[in-house]
Amino acid sequence: MYFDYCATTPVSAEVLTAMAPFWQEKFGNPSSLHQDGQSAAKALQQARAQVAGLLGAEAGEIIFTSGATEADNLALMGILRPWENKAVHLITSLVEHHAVLHTAQALEKMGCLVTYLPVDSTGMIDLADLRRAIRKETRLISIMHVNNEVGTVQPIAEIGRIARENHVLFHCDAVQGVGFLPVDVKKLGIQLLSLSAHKIYGPKGVGALYVQQGVEVHNLLYGGSQERKIRPGTENVPGIVGLGRAAGMAEKNRTENKQHVAALREQLISALKWSVPDLVVNGPSGDQVCPHVVSLTFPGSVAEMMQIRLAMQGIAVSLGSACNSRKIAPSHVLLAMGLGREAADATIRISLGAPTTADEVERLSQLLPVIASACKI
């Protein structure tokens, strides 16, 4: 049983079908002028329109990348690196994905000034802190839409409004949110947005960066003129076609998927609270949490031992971000939220997806209390 959809999702049948012709039949280079090349170029444009449709953007504002990590790097570095050794300022938060945090740290070494906003016990930033952090040197705000470890939904519209009022660009890592929550970059005041195919039932190794028309992003790579010269190199046509179809399916199924995982979340938490009285559900509730992410602390238990025992039963859960789970270190997100080391080490992340069933959740809710008890120290 798989409960790690925040880490990755299976490629849907519709996406596989869409990608299939572009491996051997329609394999042309989209930069070529002959028919095979133009067929591939047409497929790229269709995918660009599909991704744009998911975001309320224009097709020409979509830049394809190798994934959200590259998109995050491109957004931050592409805006701020040209100002190297000058007093430019970036605002982000302590609970961002490491693709943003580590890029921010690299920018600091180049002379960029960075403010890391704190969060409250639910993982939410304080808008007053954001307003106070803005200074005349501020060029960019980078705040994620949905936290990948606890599901906190940040007040994106308000952040966009504050950025606009202060003439500051706003980048949003929307990887975890676009499959469940509506995103309209124009209405939300977002100038740059990152997303990943493999978090919305598409292939790994492909993502996109939305760049609002008129915003100048400097390329990090050098080569051809692909992707408006912002991201040179021959495009991954099968992957991009898969991303396009996944984006189209995400837009179509978003409401249904959210309702599905919300019901499963309620089922899981209700069952566990009855059998584990001291259980702690981390993060906010209601509309402030994206329901596919469930962060649970089992006081006194060792989460790593729980994960191993669950794996022996054929059940996949996570200790936090998959990009960092091989390192035995407490979650930076949980620590920023005020959890102590012991509580952080007793926390597992369960993430739900469209294929998850009520029977699977029932089985998990029966096993977790037994395993948590066996893993107490």
- How many other CB atoms are there within 10 angstroms of residue 17's CB atom? 11
pLDDT of residue 7: 98
Q: Residue 376 forms beta bridges with which residues?
A: 301
**Domain 13-250: assigned CATH number:** 3.40.640.10
Name the average pLDDT for the chain: 96
Please write the tens of the pLDDT for every residue from 315-355. 999 996 555 555 568 899 999 999 999 999 999 999 999 99
Residue 175 half-sphere exposure toward CB, CA atoms < 13 A:
31
**Residue 92 pLDDT > 70, yes or no?**
yes
End-to-end C-alpha distance for the chain, whole angstroms: 27
Type of residue found at 349: R
For residues 106 and 126, give the distance between their C-alpha atoms in angstroms, rounded to a whole number. 25
Q: Distances from the Cα of 215 to the Cαs of 106, 190, 221, 290, in angstroms? A: 22, 11, 18, 30
pLDDT of residue 328: 67
The two three-digit tokens of residue 219, written as one number: 């390329």
- How many other CB atoms are there within 10 angstroms of residue 274's CB atom? 11
Check: CB of residue 355 under 8 Å from CB of residue 262: no
Phi-psi region of 235 (alpha: psi -120 to 50; beta: other; left: phi over 0): beta
Q: At what angle do helices 358-374 and 237-275 cross, to 10 degrees?
A: 60
Q: Which of 6, 112, 290, 323 is catalytic?
A: 323
For residues 198 and 274, give the distance between their C-alpha atoms in angstroms, rounded to a whole number. 35
pLDDT of residue 326: 57
- At 66 the three-state DSSP class reads coil
CB-count exposure of residue 20 (10 Å: 0-12, 13-18, 19+) = middle
> 């076609």: which residue's tokens?
241
The pLDDT of 14-27, averaged and rounded, is: 97
Number of H helices, E strands in the chain: 13, 10
pLDDT band at residue 82 under the 50/70/90 scheme: confident
pLDDT band at residue 83 under the 50/70/90 scheme: confident
C-alpha 259: how far from chain center: 20
pLDDT of residue 324: 52
CA angle 253, 249, 205 (to 5 degrees): 130
The two three-digit tokens of residue 71, written as one number: 């998109």
* % pLDDT > 90, the chain: 93
CATH superfamily of 253-374: Aspartate Aminotransferase, domain 1 (3.90.1150.10)
pLDDT of residue 345: 96
Q: What is the DSSP letter of 221?
A: S
- At 340 the three-state DSSP class reads coil
Please write the tens of the pLDDT for every residue from 138-153. 999 999 999 999 999 9
Element (H, E) at 102: helix 98-109
Residue 295's nearest CA partner among 177, 123, 118, 125 is: 123
For residues 246 and 50, give the distance between their C-alpha atoms in angstroms, rounded to a whole number. 9
pLDDT of residue 225: 87
pTM of the predicted model, to two decimals?
A: 0.95
Phi then psi dihedrals of residue 192, to 5 deg: -140, 135
Annotated catalytic residue 172: no
Check: CB of residue 182 under 8 Å from CB of residue 157: no
The pLDDT of 230-238, averaged and rounded, is: 95
pLDDT band at residue 85 under the 50/70/90 scheme: low
Check: CB of residue 177 under 8 Å from CB of residue 139: no
Q: What is the DSSP letter of 318?
A: B
Q: Where are the domains of the chain?
A: 13-250, 253-374
Query: Can you give the length of the chain in residues?
Result: 377
**Residue 31 pLDDT > 80, yes or no?**
yes
- How many other CB atoms are there within 10 angstroms of residue 291's CB atom? 21
Please write the tens of the pLDDT for every residue from 163-205. 999 999 999 999 999 999 999 999 999 999 999 999 999 999 9
Please write the tens of the pLDDT for every residue from 274-304. 999 999 999 999 999 999 999 999 999 999 9
Q: Residue 113 forms beta bridges with which residues?
A: 89
The pLDDT of 23-50, averaged and rounded, is: 95
For residues 258 and 182, give the distance between their C-alpha atoms in angstroms, rounded to a whole number. 11
For residues 328 and 305, give the distance between their C-alpha atoms in angstroms, rounded to a whole number. 12
